Amino acid sequence: MLDRIHFRLLASLTLLTFGLTVASAKAAPKRLILIRHGDKNLSNTSQNLNPKGFTRSINLAYMLIGCFGKPSAIYVHPIDINKPRSHQREYQTAVPLAIATRKDIQFLWQAKEGAIQAGKHLRSLPASQDPLVVVIWHYWDMPELAKGLGWSEMEQIDRSDFNHLFEFNYKEGSSTPIVRQRTESEMFKQDCAGRPNGLEVVPLH
């Protein structure tokens, strides 16, 4: 009798664990927008955006809201002021979007374990809670982040290129994305970039 109870309990736990594993593997946001931080001066060591990058960050907020809607989450790499690459620009780029949408900027702490691990964490976010996630990153390991997101075809980003926008769409029940590559300059010209759905962000052109 006890053996039967132990067997049934073990079988139930096994099925529960398997179900959670499958659910985790298939969980993914409905849509994820991945962009690089705004422009910087390539010839100096400042960790801040330059004026062009600051202007871009405001235009990005205006365009992202108008063309994709209000994000459910905004993620950036954690800031580390003790390192030459302190990741402050990612946060600075996110600020106008966070102010306009009243969404807190979240640090993607899994990046400490590597960009692939960070991408896997993002891919595990359930669509029911995070239908639209915006991620602002840096150029050198963006392809590794994309691998964690389930896409291994991203080419290396040039250090002088701040214009890429990657749209990851996940169908229900799938963790493999359909990726659409765009440019921010192309998106800025769209009619939707001037319609922030009632959220007040003043664009700079």
> Domains, the chain, ranges and CATH?
28-194 (3.40.50.1240)
End-to-end CA distance of the chain: 76
The CA distances from residue 79 to 58, 103, 108, 122, 147, in Å, are 21, 18, 10, 18, 22
26 has a pLDDT exceeding 60: no
User: Mean pLDDT, to the nearest integer, of 147-154?
Assistant: 98
| Beta pairing partners, 31 | 132, 169
62 has a pLDDT exceeding 70: yes
Q: What pTM, to 2 d.p., does this model score? A: 0.83
pLDDT score recorded for residue 109? 97
